[in-house]
Amino acid sequence: MREAHPVEQAVGMAYYVSDSDGVGGQLRREPAAFGVREIEAFDVEPIDAERGAYPHVVFRATLAGWDTNDFANVLSDQLGISRERVSWAGTKDKHARTTQLFSVAKVDPAGLEAIDLSDVEIDILGRSGRPILFGDLAGNAFEIEISDPDAPGNLDAVLGGLAAFAGSASGSGEDDSSTRIGVPNYFGQQRFGSQRPVTHEVGLAIACGDWKDAVLAYVGNQHEREREDTRESRAYVTETEDWQGALDRLPKRLGYERSMCHRLAENGAEEPEDFRAALETVPTNLQQLFVNAAQSYAFNRILSARLERGLPFDEPVAGDVVCFADNDAPDGLELPDTDRVQRVTAENVGTIRRHCERGRAFVTAPLLGTESELADGEPGEIERAVFDDLGISPTDFDLPGEFHSEGTRRAILLRTELSVEREPLTLSFALPKGSYATVVLREITKSDPADL
């Protein structure tokens, strides 16, 4: 196996599974070169439905160069409402052209129609009795151009390696223009912070009950990829823990860090609850992301350890836990249903292996939480070794408020049909919700993660 870039190794992605050199190049040269469209799975009522029963207005937004959180902030400001009334199904990167679903509670549709923002198109779809939530989509379809590839001729060798990793269920693609490929279903770099991968460190500190260390991991903890003024202000926080002084030094663009420091300057920063209160000044989805990132880091570590041991990803071994396919998934999209799981034993491994070969079942690994039950056998040994090394256990996720997590399981193999246009080099594929295009692209480009 080929070792991954050091920045990827720092978030648990230790290897590439394709041994060939990549094509190189860059992504996101401009937002239009990285297109993302949500594959929707959310039903709406007509816009003239009764407002009391259906208080949430649902709309589709096409955004170019907008971070999802930033768009929600600006949208709520223009509507004159709390940002907490804006909901969406999946967070997208600003360096892309994205089409995604949003809902807004108790708002006049005319106010949405009047929104005039640069590089934003809004299409009102109707009403709903509840807000759109994370996971209220089946997946995402991507069309991504790789700019200035250094060695485009390497593409076929890379795809050959990824087709082999996809295993027996891969076939040869739906037609001659596509290739069925597979990669480890890692959480991508952006899960942890593209420029400064620290969110998992915040989450691990929270899980260990160290609220102060969690704040310092987020507000301090400078990174070499950041601007000089940012690095200097973070270093000041780490060295002094002077929260009022930090407010004078932190750049205005670091709004979440400043909100934490402001709360600590107000409450005295003497008790653990003071630091928890500081963390709770950020939006609820970011609070959840901290813990999710810790779970994701451990998951990535488990996948890397499984690769090291040479265990298969496309089929189970005794001790594994598999989940079954979602029968309502759109055509052409492998969508695991992690609410339907089964343990693999020496007696049933043959039967479950055949289900995996046909794309009806998927090997999983845990996202640790209070309800987690670990695998048995060698897969269980891997899981326990990773969690022991990180000093975490299921009970550590019995946390207050938005930080609490029951945990779940996640498929370890990500497969897709990938189509290629050579001039310019453009890749088209679809992934199930929660999976990352960058974990496919990293195998193909072998580039510095900063270029992804």
Q: Is 93 marked active-site?
A: yes
Q: For residues 48 and 57, is the Cβ–Cβ distance under 8 A?
A: no
Q: For residues 336 and 381, is the Cβ–Cβ distance under 8 A?
A: no
Query: Helices 284-309 and 199-207 meet at what angle, rounded to 10?
Result: 100
Cα–Cα nearest to 194, from 8, 386, 394, 331: 8
**Dist CA 291 CA 304 (whole Å):** 20
One of 48, 67, 93, 229 is an active-site residue; which one? Answer: 93
Active site residues: 93
